Structure 1
Amino acid sequence: MNDQERLDDLIIDGLQIYQRTDMFRFSFDAIALIHFCQFNDRHSYVDLGTGTGVMPLIGTSLGAGHITGIDINKTLIELAQRSVAHNHKQDVVTMVCSDYRHISYRDVQDKPFDGVIVNPPFYDCESGAKPTSEERALALHDEHTSLEDVLKAVQSFIKCKGRLWMIYSASRLQYVLHELEAANFQAKRIRFIHGMVDKPAKLVLIEALYQGQTGLVLEPPLIVYEKPNVYTKEVASWYEQ
């Protein structure tokens, strides 16, 4: 382990994860998204842009049969592979180093995936200050990978009537719903994330069905904090499993 590496406790199911202090590390977004997914232990899933591999690790503890993580960053994938081995998850998690925009399910397995998880860049590259590092800009802003690019890639991995789970900026909900429909996805579940009960939602969780029928459920909001630095019961319960 070099000086910039560390082994962090996820405080979920006894899992630990390798991360680097000089590279993009997972945030609460990923934890909220993976708990929004509804998994089946007979199904296979893919996490596009997996980064450190946090969502496949947790997802397989939440009932997913198998999750493949794909990321273009070779260093992060090597860390993720070590995390998979460290947590003895080699049978249920596979890590692939590739640009998910240029491959399909055929490069990974013999049939389309039952579900796709993606935490895409969701800040508008045309507005607001950009992150200082190129790596953070790639992860957070849509200049390099547009939502249209992401959804095209999802189509090449997902089965008909497969489920897509994603997290996005709440202020861009109208845009994301338009793009989903244009790509033949129907939003089925939406849940807004509020930092505290009296604050506006900054993020939104979306489940969409590929080539599915209309019919949308607006779920109760996810409130993260009861008071500053104190998680609500729901969020705290994730870390007690």
Structure 2
Amino acid sequence: MPQTIETLPNGLKLWQDDRFFKLGQDSVLLSAFAKPRRNAKVLDLGCGTGALALLVYRPDLKITGLELQEDALALFRRSIADNDVEMTAVQGDLRAIRTIFPHGSMDYVICNPPYFDRTAGKSAPSPEKRTARQDGSCTVEDVAVATSFVLHTGGKAAFVFRPERMWVLLEALSRVRLVPKRLRFVHQNATAAPSAVLVECRKGGSPEGLTVEPPLLVESEEYQRIYRK
């Protein structure tokens, strides 16, 4: 398969391959929404070719990507080397998270989880893309459990998801003590229904204090600034 290089909004280079999902709006917007503290240990769950991990890169962060598919991980490792940045790429199944990372070892988790039930709608065009976007290899519940396991109490996680399945995500998070604290919906414009929702949660603590931020409009200067970062 032909491989290409994409320049990310932060100037880093991303190696891509047609077998895997390429850089998309969701990863860019999630990277702008996520707010890991200084010197945080950050885990990108199901990192694929590493777009999200590279987008959130800061020199102070200790970023690790976990990915099931070795070929995708190879591209991520190539991007890490070509950008000369310090990140760790780990091959493994997030459903076996307890055998990969210590409990409570991360401060912040970022994840673009499988959007669709494997029985719903048209399948993705390749096995690699089906693995990334449908819940045949892992479910939203698996993602929530893995996230809760690696976060210490007070740690945070940020996700991007589909609004029509938001309750699936929120219910899964609530079962493992991940409390939503920030929500932001993404709309094409002020009159359009939302196309994505950004969610940040905290492990443990009170269910009070959820902030619903102003909508992010694709047809806005803010959106353009995110892409010009």
Same fold (TM over 0.5): yes
Which shifted more, 205-214 or 20-29?
A: 20-29
Where in structure 1 are there 5+ consecutive unaligned residues? 227-231
**Structure 1 position 36, deviation (Å):** 0.6
Distance 1:35 1:143 in 2: 29
1:82-125 per-residue CA deviation (whole Å, 9 max, x = no partner) reads 101111112xx111111122134x73579610011111102133
1:233 to 221, 224, 227: 221
Runs of 4+ deviating beyond 3 Å: 106-111
SS at match of 2:57: helix
Matches of 1:165 and 1:83, distance apart in 2 = 23
Secondary structure of the residue aligned to 2:56 is helix
Identity, in percent, stands at 29
Q: Does 1:66 align with 2:54?
A: no
Deviation at residue 239 of structure 1 after TM alignment: 2.8
Distance in 2 between residues matched to 1:182 and 1:107, nearest whole Å: 22
Query: Which structure 2 residues correspond to residues 184-223 of structure 1 after superposition, within 5 A?
Result: 184-214=177-207, 215-223=209-217
**1:86 maps to 2:86:** no
Find the counterpart in structure 2 of residue 100 from structure 1.
94
Give the TM-score taking structure 2 as reference length: 0.92
Q: Aligned in 2, Cα 1:131/1:21: closer, same or farther, shift over 3 Å?
A: closer
Residue 48 (structure 2) aligns with? 51
The aligned amino acid for 1:20 is D
State the match for 1:229 in structure 2.
none
Of residues 119-128 and 179-188 in structure 1, the stretch that sits farther from structure 2 once superposed is 119-128
Partners of 1:131 and 1:206 lie apart in 2 by: 24
Amino acid at match of 1:96: V
Paired residues, what number? 228
Unaligned runs of 5+ in 2: none
Query: Would the alpha carbon gap of residues 101 and 35 (structure 1) be closer, same or farther in structure 2, given more than 3 Å must change?
Result: same
Q: Output aligned runs, 1:31-50, within 5 Å.
A: 31-50=28-47
